[in-house]
Amino acid sequence: MTTTDTTQDNAVILTELAAKEITRIIAEQNLDAEKVRLRVGVKGGGCSGFSYILDLTETQKDSDEVFEQHGIKIIVDPKSLLYLGGTTVDFKDEIMGRGFVFSNPNATTSCGCGSSFAV
């Protein structure tokens, strides 16, 4: 396990608003806030080639990169980090929709719903 300084360009950044929503979900699901981690990753698929993954888990691998922001531990596997370095995860609660949104500087295109991308 490698803990990474979030000032580096390869970090995955969690906004304060997104962290508040994660904290709310952890409390709502009665999860152990000391053990749970936010796994951010990518998988093949989606309309643009890759889809984003967000998961609350207590499972962490030795190879995972670890970032901590606003009291939330974020884990990313090395392969996903190749595509997610510098990505900001935010939370929007607007008239047109509510959910987590990704701002990925590595994406060359993304789908209209914002849940998939290509590099």
pTM score of the predicted model: 0.81
| pLDDT one-digit tens code per residue, 73-106 | 999 999 999 989 999 999 998 887 889 989 988 8
CA-closest candidate to residue 71, choices 10, 13, 1, 19: 19
The whole-number average pLDDT for the span 35-44 is 93
Give percent above pLDDT 90 in the chain. Answer: 58
Q: Is the per-residue pLDDT at 33 higher than 50?
A: yes
- Domain 2-118, CATH: 2.60.300.12
How high does pLDDT run on average in the chain?
84
Question: Distance between CA atoms of 84 and 9, rounded to whole angstroms?
Answer: 10
CB distance 22 to 72 below 8 Å: yes
pLDDT band at residue 17 under the 50/70/90 scheme: very high
Question: Distance between CA atoms of 36 and 56, rounded to whole angstroms?
Answer: 6
CB distance 41 to 80 below 8 Å: yes
Torsion, Cα 78 83 89 94, to 10 degrees, reads -150
Structural domain boundaries of the chain?
2-118
Question: Distance between CA atoms of 12 and 36, rounded to whole angstroms?
Answer: 17
